[in-house]
Chain A
Amino acid sequence: MLRKRVIPCLDVKNGRVVKGVNFENLTDEGDPVELATRYAEEGADEIIYLDISASPEGRGILLDVVRRTASNVFVPLSVAGGVRTTDDMRAVLRAGADKVGINTAAVNNPELINDCATQFGSQCVVVSIDAKWRDDWQSWEVVVNGGRTPTGLDALKWAEEVVERGAGEILLTSIDRDGTKSGFDIALLQAITSLVSVPVIASGGAGTVDHCVEAITDGNAEAVLAASIFHRQEITVGEVQEGLVAAGVAARRESA
């Protein structure tokens, strides 16, 4: 049976893992390759790098980090952040990434999803959707730039559109929950997973093992993503996998 996945996410800036709140007051958390290797040894089902360099120099450094990671870490690697063209995507794939996430560029130019899927296959095209609840809509709006810029797009309609255009996976982040450790937005997950057949990765709000289990059992997510709780070793990847198994969900345990 297909295992539900547990995915640590590393924010990478100029070749270093950083952490902060809303991309501010960043602190250096170490070498991405070292951290990714540690996570892989702990049984992480995949690793995601989110590049927040936003500079050409940082981009070059990121590709080198991806190359070094691919040489040392033999679990799947996704890279998101800063991919604007099919050439950007090719460079990241050739460096050794298995999947590439696009977010703002897909909102600005939806055709990019089709182009990437045609050239590289849907299986490596992840569309990241950052969603924020709007009371006046009684629905979620797609936001970009770390939640600061509204797009006017309904997140549910956008999710359907990105799949039609060739996305092979959706990385769904609740901006309302991101950084709160108050649990994933289960209603958002349910709304999106009931609409699309591609895997949905739940992101934003992980604070406990139970939160991660709920995202899968109640939200129907295929995978859960978390950053700070794993980096700070508040909970481990293995503990989430144990929690899933205890709840009757098939999960992979490297040591089992």
Chain B
Amino acid sequence: MTTIAVVDHGAGNLVSIAQGLERVGAQVVIATSPGEMEGADGVVLPGVGATAAAMDRIAAAGFVDPLKSLSVPLLGVCVGMQVLFDSSDEDDAECLGIISGTVRKLQNAPTLPHMGWNDVAVADDPLFEGFAASELFYFVHSYAPVPIDPSVTIGTSGHGEPFVAAVRQGSVAGVQFHPERSSVAGLKVLGNFLKNCAEARRAA
């Protein structure tokens, strides 16, 4: 069985992401300290709320260096994806700096937060294996990443302007939408991540 550590930095809704992973066959470990990630085949970094607060909690729990030097696949979700970048305009937060780029507020959005189901045009990536070119996912956010290297973008959506909805750099991936709240399509993304983790374990 493939074990996924879900980072618990003290806020947000871990239940649904843990349940979503279990639904697709993962054994889930809730990691409140970096030591609890050891032995896991992959790590999910969730996050809701303000970026600075999330980064403070990630740092306070000692997760910064362990996440940066992770040897297994990592999936950041929502704010958990935004903190993978260098910094965020939201509260001028300094972030993990795993992927080069910044996070900025959506421009020209008719409503903020961008809340609800929206199309994501997906690239040919293991996370989206078996998907058509476009799929609906559930979003709740006001900020989105702006990667320096455009080739890390594996999914795009739009709300007032086009924005980056999914990224990958090596074994680190991130999605702006909530796979755990995106019904069948979302569970499929979690299932693909699980498969990627199992493959990475076999290759190691």
Asked if B140 and A98 make an inter-chain contact with CB atoms under 8 angstroms apart, the answer reads yes
Question: Is A20 positioned at the interface, with any CB of B under 8 Å from its CB?
Answer: no
One of B97-105, B106-114, B125-133, B166-174 contacting the partner: B106-114
Enumerate B42-75 residues with CB–CB distance to A below 8 Å: 48-50, 53
Cβ-neighbour of B111 out of A3, A119, A122, A197 (below 8 A)? A197
Q: Which residues of B contact A75 (CB under 8 A)?
A: 138, 181-183
Closest Cβ neighbor of B115 among chain A residues: A199
Question: Is A22 positioned at the interface, with any CB of B under 8 Å from its CB?
Answer: no
Closest Cβ neighbor of B48 among chain A residues: A121
Asked if B116 and A198 make an inter-chain contact with CB atoms under 8 angstroms apart, the answer reads no
Asked if B23 and A95 make an inter-chain contact with CB atoms under 8 angstroms apart, the answer reads no
Interface residues on chain A, size class: 35 or more
Asked if B186 and A96 make an inter-chain contact with CB atoms under 8 angstroms apart, the answer reads no
Scan B126-157; emit 1 where CB is below 8 A from any A CB, else 0. 00000000001010111000000000000000
For chain B, what secondary structure do more than half of its interface residues adopt (helix, strand, loop), or is it mixed? mixed
Question: Is A168 positioned at the interface, with any CB of B under 8 Å from its CB?
Answer: yes
Cβ-neighbour of B115 out of A70, A120, A123 (below 8 A)? A123
Asked if A223 and B13 make an inter-chain contact with CB atoms under 8 angstroms apart, the answer reads no
Q: How many Å lie between the Cα of A74 and that of B182 in the bound state?
A: 6
One of B14-22, B32-40, B192-200 contacting the partner: B14-22
Scan A213-232; emit 1 where CB is below 8 A from any B CB, else 0. 00000000011000000000
Question: Is B89 positioned at the interface, with any CB of A under 8 Å from its CB?
Answer: no
Question: Is B119 positioned at the interface, with any CB of A under 8 Å from its CB?
Answer: yes
Q: How many Å lie between the Cα of A90 and that of B138 in the bound state?
A: 22
Question: Is A11 positioned at the interface, with any CB of B under 8 Å from its CB?
Answer: no
Asked if A123 and B15 make an inter-chain contact with CB atoms under 8 angstroms apart, the answer reads no
Knowing that A98-B13, A119-B11 are A-B contacts, what are 11 other residue pairs whose CB atoms are under 8 Å apart, sorted by A's residue number? A2-B111, A5-B117, A45-B116, A70-B13, A70-B15, A93-B13, A98-B16, A98-B140, A124-B49, A198-B112, A199-B111
Q: Which residues of B contact A197 (CB under 8 A)?
A: 110-112
Given contacts A74-B23, A74-B183, contact A2 B15 (CB under 8 A): no
Closest Cβ neighbor of A4 among chain B residues: B116
B residues contacting A by CB (< 8 A) are: 11-16, 19-20, 23, 48-50, 53, 79, 110-119, 136, 138, 140-142, 158-159, 178, 180-184, 186-187
Asked if A97 and B13 make an inter-chain contact with CB atoms under 8 angstroms apart, the answer reads yes
Q: How many Å lie between the Cα of A93 and that of B138 in the bound state?
A: 18
Q: Which residues of B contact A38 (CB under 8 A)?
A: none
Q: How many Å lie between the Cα of A179 and that of B103 in the bound state?
A: 44
Q: How many Å lie between the Cα of A38 and that of B180 in the bound state?
A: 18
Q: Which residues of B contact A222 (CB under 8 A)?
A: 111, 115-116
The list of the 5 closest CB pairs from A to B, nearest first, reads: A121-B49, A96-B15, A3-B117, A123-B140, A70-B15
- 17 residue pairs from A and B, CB less than 8 Å apart: A1-B119, A2-B159, A5-B116, A45-B116, A71-B19, A75-B181, A93-B12, A96-B19, A98-B13, A98-B140, A120-B48, A123-B140, A123-B141, A168-B140, A169-B113, A198-B113, A222-B116
Given contacts A74-B187, A98-B181, contact A122 B113 (CB under 8 A): yes
Asked if B16 and A70 make an inter-chain contact with CB atoms under 8 angstroms apart, the answer reads yes
Closest Cβ neighbor of A74 among chain B residues: B183
Nearest-neighbour CB distance to chain B for A220, whole angstroms, equals 10
